[in-house]
Amino acid sequence: TSKAIVIGSGIAGIATSIRLAVKGYQVLVLEKNNYPGGKLSEITLGNYRFDAGPSLFTMPHFVEELFALASKKTNDFFEYDAHDTCCHYFWEDGTFLKAHSNHQEIENEVENVFPTNGKLFTKKLKKAAFINEQVGDLFLKNSLHDVRNFLNFKTLKALSNSWKLDLQTTYHASNKKDLKNSKLVQLFDRFATYNGSNPYKTPGIMSIIPHFEHNVGTFFPKKGMVSITNSLVQLAESLGVQFQYNTIVEEILVENEAVIGVKTANKIENSAIVVSNMDVYFTYQKLLPNQKAPKKILCQERSSSAIIFYWGIKSEFPNLDLHNIFFSKDYKTEFETIFDKKTIFDDPTVYVHISSKCLSNDAPKGAENWFVMINAPSNSGQNWDELIAKARKVIIQKINKILQIDIEKLIEEESILDPRSIEMKTASYQGSLYGTSSNSKFAAFLRHPNFKKGLKNLYFVGGSVHPGGGIPLCLLSAKIADQYIPTVSKS
């Protein structure tokens, strides 16, 4: 048989289904929810629409690549625009920085706002580009579990240059050395949260992250983030992929050290290959109970999670943009509180995403849809109801202080997402947003590979495996797995 089964329709599962269909497989995606996309989905509250999870869209070429692979025109399915401002940054002492994506503009802005040389900002971005050039392909586009990927001139040269990659220092220390101004250091430290890590622990090589936002650019889909999911599902279906919703895979079936299919509540589905887009922790625990689990990999520290308030706000704020940050006064303690004390901080950094700034239909006239998020520890049984009540209070206090308003009065719709509900909705172990954290030098090597040695026909994709979480990396996990999956023979 040339049948392939994909467990889960997260973004990596959908991308895999497209790649397999192009390779000649007859693909069936089994999804436990009644909608596709996992974390990349949407909710509506009254007259407001919200993207449920991701809000920052970087590296759209990895989405476009899938349309090209299927010989289709992206614009027939999916459209997006570049956004010329990366973020609006606010501090409680009244400092405000508009982070333009244009390098000359951000240099000028930094010089106007801070008593520091604006070139420090763009120099740091050049360093990000250098790191990407040196090791981006090695770490993000290839398997780290295949020795052949290390035995080439480019990789060996990059590794011999490792002192330039800040491998031996923390990301925070690298920012402090390069940027000097404490607010700029905080601004760059925040990029560590893009993969759910702690800037005071994650290695300096994370300086690569701002490259994607500031050098490649920030984008926004014309029909919201959810249209990444919807358009790729449409593409997959046009290639013959079948999506079966409300279907929980209960077991991956193994015979003679090879996977032969899966079992759902009422059916056995045989297949030539199985790709799991389910969190790798639960894949072993729930679907492969008789296989030896790679304990060292599975007990890695998890990335942070989040508490999100979706607020329908019956007013408009011209000083806010698509992405806004209200910084904590004490970032170090905020991260210690999240990762060491595993609770939420009294003065959290608040992220406010307002898609109605670009998509006017997402909120009624004169109103805005606020996606308000703080980082939170992954779920280890904390009293979340109590923590959510506390978070709501401190977030409102912070926004009121910085914007000089009474935001609570303007909230006309509300819904909440927390680590428990993230875990329940998408079967992500401990509700982590990005699989495992990168809080150690070796984290990249301790993510699960995209295949399994000793068990044929089984592959892994998604945020919990190599190369990690976030939409672009999930799309790359599908691309790497694809390199190891045989093409269907025509005979």
> Least distance (Å) from ligand FAD to the CB of residue 12?
3
> Least distance (Å) from ligand FAD to the CB of residue 88?
16
Pick from 5, 9, 202, 413 the residue near ligand FAD by CB under 6 A.
9
The verdict on 377 binding ligand FAD (CB under 6 A) reads: no
The verdict on 221 binding ligand FAD (CB under 6 A) reads: no
The verdict on 384 binding ligand FAD (CB under 6 A) reads: no
Q: Which residues pair with 428 in a beta bridge?
A: none
d(CA 479, CA 485): 10
The sign of the dihedral angle between the CA atoms of 36, 41, 46, 47 is negative
Tokens found for residue 484: 């190891």
Tokens found for residue 41: 């989905």
- Of 278 and 481, which CB lies nearer to ligand FAD in the complex structure? 278
Window contacting ligand FAD (CB under 6 A); options: 35-43, 134-142, 210-218, 392-400:
35-43
Pick from 19, 21, 55, 384 the residue near ligand FAD by CB under 6 A.
55
Where is 131: in which H helix or E strand?
helix 119-131
Pick from 4, 6, 18, 56 the residue near ligand FAD by CB under 6 A.
56
SS3 107: helix
Q: Residue count of the chain, please give it.
A: 491
Beta strands in 241-367 (DSSP E): 242-244, 249-255, 258-264, 267-270, 273-276, 305-313, 323-326, 350-354
The verdict on 426 binding ligand FAD (CB under 6 A) reads: yes
The verdict on 60 binding ligand FAD (CB under 6 A) reads: no
Query: Could you count the other beta carbons within 10 Å of the beta carbon of residue 214?
Result: 25
Pick from 4, 53, 88, 260 the residue near ligand FAD by CB under 6 A.
53
The verdict on 344 binding ligand FAD (CB under 6 A) reads: no
Cβ atoms 398, 350 nearer than 8 A? yes
The sign of the dihedral angle between the CA atoms of 50, 54, 59, 60 is negative
d(CA 41, CA 361): 17
Site for ligand FAD in 241-280 (CB under 6 A): 248-249, 277-278
> Least distance (Å) from ligand FAD to the CB of residue 176?
26
- Of 114 and 139, which CB lies nearer to ligand FAD in the complex structure? 139
Query: Could you count the other beta carbons within 10 Å of the beta carbon of residue 424?
Result: 12
- Of 35 and 155, which CB lies nearer to ligand FAD in the complex structure? 35
* End-to-end alpha carbon distance in the chain: 12
- Of 118 and 221, which CB lies nearer to ligand FAD in the complex structure? 221
Cβ atoms 453, 4 nearer than 8 A? no
Query: Could you count the other beta carbons within 10 Å of the beta carbon of residue 286?
Result: 16
Pick from 19, 31, 192, 448 the residue near ligand FAD by CB under 6 A.
31
Cβ atoms 271, 4 nearer than 8 A? yes
The verdict on 428 binding ligand FAD (CB under 6 A) reads: yes
- Of 10 and 199, which CB lies nearer to ligand FAD in the complex structure? 10
Cβ atoms 125, 211 nearer than 8 A? yes
Pick from 128, 158, 470, 480 the residue near ligand FAD by CB under 6 A.
470
d(CA 459, CA 491): 24
Residue nearest to ligand FAD (CB): 10
Window contacting ligand FAD (CB under 6 A); options: 67-75, 140-148, 312-320, 470-478:
470-478
Q: Are strands 26-30 and 42-45 parallel, antiparallel or unpaired?
A: unpaired
Pick from 288, 308, 443, 480 the residue near ligand FAD by CB under 6 A.
308
The verdict on 59 binding ligand FAD (CB under 6 A) reads: no
Residue ranges of the alpha helices (H) in 267-356? 280-282, 295-298, 331-339
The verdict on 86 binding ligand FAD (CB under 6 A) reads: no
- Of 114 and 434, which CB lies nearer to ligand FAD in the complex structure? 434
Pick from 33, 44, 155, 382 the residue near ligand FAD by CB under 6 A.
33
Q: Which positions ≥6 away from 400 have C-beta within 8 Å?
A: 406, 407, 408
Window contacting ligand FAD (CB under 6 A); options: 50-58, 119-127, 356-364, 436-444:
50-58
Please report, as ranges, the residues that interact with ligand FAD according to CB under 6 A.
7-13, 30-33, 38-40, 53-56, 248-249, 277-278, 306, 308, 422, 426-428, 433-434, 462-463, 469-471, 474
